Amino acid sequence: MHFYGGHRGRRDPPRQLPADVRGFVNRVDDLDRLDRLLGDGSGPERSLALCILVGTAGVGKTSLAVHWAHRVVDRFPDGQLYVNLHGYDPGPPVTPHQALERFLGALQVPAESIPADPEARAAAYRSLLADRRILVVLDNASSVAQVRPLLPGTAGCLVLITSRSRLSGLVARDGAHRVSLGVLSEEQSIELLQGVTAGYRPPGRPGRAAGTGGTVRTAAAGAVHRRGTRGQPPPHAAARADRGTARRVDAVGRAHRRR
């Protein structure tokens, strides 16, 4: 596939990983597990080529994937490819065909050289990845069909997928390692909420915390889970730790609902 100008792509590797999660909380066991799966790189070939992070809506899959990817980014000298597949958004998901177009573009393939035929497009992608070490993050995937055309054909790359589905076909047929994320504990939820509400000011005043909705949702996922498992309403997690935090959390929640 030399007509794709692969040399230029090698000099200027893609760096598509989103910024690391600010104030990342805990997940020590999950991070350790991922580190162990990846290994120390001393062997001739890595054992981990395909890993899926699964868990309930909002549990923190994307955050963990992005945070861990930053920790191991140096192990992938030929760059990173990232796509949000929007598998669970109300709008249309990103198709594999569209994702491949973006990836080939990021690998410096000129638009006019990107094959229109789906199989040829996937084959061009696999050819370009064949002898590179690239970290590929396929975020928010909804099905095996959405990700399979985006898998490299060789083991030099690592593919990290996040999904609310278990994607069993990838485990059975493609040898994927599956890591299931549990909800944050009450203490971890408090830590997360304290971090995100630390600079909170009521709406209309300068310094209002932005982008807190998802975080509240992540902590709420833990609370909902605990209520489900104990069969009784959870104590107000933040209130138990710090009444000031509780007031800020409530205010953030109200502001979020108004948006």
Query: Nearest-CB residue to ligand ATP?
Result: 60
Name the segment binding Mg ion (CB under 5 A); options: 57-65, 120-128, 203-211, 232-240: 57-65
146 binds Mg ion (CB under 5 A): no
We find the least distance from the C-beta atom of residue 250 to ligand ATP, in angstroms, to be 18
- CB 36, min distance to ligand ATP, A: 19
- Residue 252 binding target from ligand ATP, Mg ion, none, CB below 5 to 8 Å by type: none
What distance in Å separates the CA atoms of residue 111 and residue 117, rounded to the nearest whole number? 14
Query: Cα(70)–Cα(107) distance, rounded to whole angstroms?
Result: 20
Q: Which residue has the tokens 């909002």?
A: 58
Is there binding between residue 61 and ligand ATP (CB under 6 A)?
Answer: yes
Q: Quick one: which segment of 55-63, 92-100, 165-173, 214-222 binds Mg ion (CB under 5 A)?
A: 55-63
Listed residue (177, 192, 169) closest to 67, CA to CA: 192
- Is residue 140 within the footprint of ligand ATP (CB under 6 A)? yes
Q: Indicate if the alpha-carbon torsion angle 84, 89, 91, 97 is positive or negative.
A: positive
Q: Considering the rule CB under 6 A, would residue 194 count as an interface residue with ligand ATP? A: no
Interacting residues with ligand ATP (CB under 6 A) = 21, 23-27, 55, 57-63, 88, 140, 162, 164, 192, 214-215, 217-218
